[in-house]
Amino acid sequence: MSDATTNAYAKALADIAEAEGVLARVDAEFTAVAAAYESNDQLRSTIGDQAIPVERRQGIVEQLLAGKGAHPLTAQLLGMVIGAGRGRDLSAIASAIGNRNASSQGRAVAEVRSAVALSEDQQRRLGEQLAKAVGTEVNVKVIVDPSVVGGLVATVGDKVIDGSVRTKLDRVKARLS
């Protein structure tokens, strides 16, 4: 899907969530679902498979949110995205909603990739340090990505701060070759 279409979907969803006064919560829940979508191959292939009936794919997402106190609007918006056949663009839509939420708060979004999950305290301290690094307050969104191997990669706008073991291994490999 093109960026324009993704942004259009994200804007529509964010407008609804903002109108309901739950943009931050919807953003956080969309981010969590998107992270699960990215880290789980089976979930990704199921939600993105157009051959599977829409009702079944929506049911899977509802099961994913069940018992976690998700806002009903989040489930409805996710069902709408999957029903429109945009399951494959879930991560991009979640990212755009996150940007919208951050900009509405006068903050930036810091996308942080890590091989392991970060605690709440680590996310808070990381947000404070990233704010010092980029000069503006940030909303930290952690994506668990095993390809990072170790350490963190933080992306705030165009700025990338790479402290990952993957990049260090790639540098060693480049130096050897």
Partner 1 sequence: MSFLVSLLASEEGHLTYETHSWLLPETAEIIYGGLASVIVFAALGKFALPMFKKSLTARTERIQKEMDDAQAVRDTAEGEASRIRTALGDIQSERAKILAEADAQAAAVLSDGRARITAEAADLEAKADADIAAAAGRVNDELKSEIARLSSVAAERVVKAALNDAAQQDLIEGFINTVGAAR
Neighbours of 103 (CB within 10 A): 13
Q: State the nearest-atom distance from the C-beta of 159 to partner 1, in Å.
A: 9
String of DSSP letters for 23-89: HHHHHHHHHHHHHHHHH-HHHHHHHT-TTS-HHHHHHHHHHHHTTTT--HHHHHHHHHHHHTT-GGG
* Of residues 41 and 121, the one with the C-beta less far from partner 1: 121
Contact between 22 and partner 1 by CB under 8 A: the answer reads: no
Mark 74-113 with x for binding to partner 1 (rule: CB under 8 A) and - for no binding. Answer: ----------------------------------------
Residue with smaller CB distance to partner 1, 57 or 166: 166
Q: Which two tokens stand for residue 5?
A: 């279409």
Which of 60, 151, 155, 167 contacts partner 1 by CB under 8 A? 151
| Residue in this structure with the two tokens 């979640």, named with its chain if needed | 94
Burial of 46 (0-12, 13-18, 19+ CB in 10 A): middle
Q: Which is nearer to partner 1, 24 or 134 (CB)?
A: 134
| Residues within window 117-146 making contact with partner 1, judged by CB under 8 A | 118, 122, 125-126, 128-130, 132-135
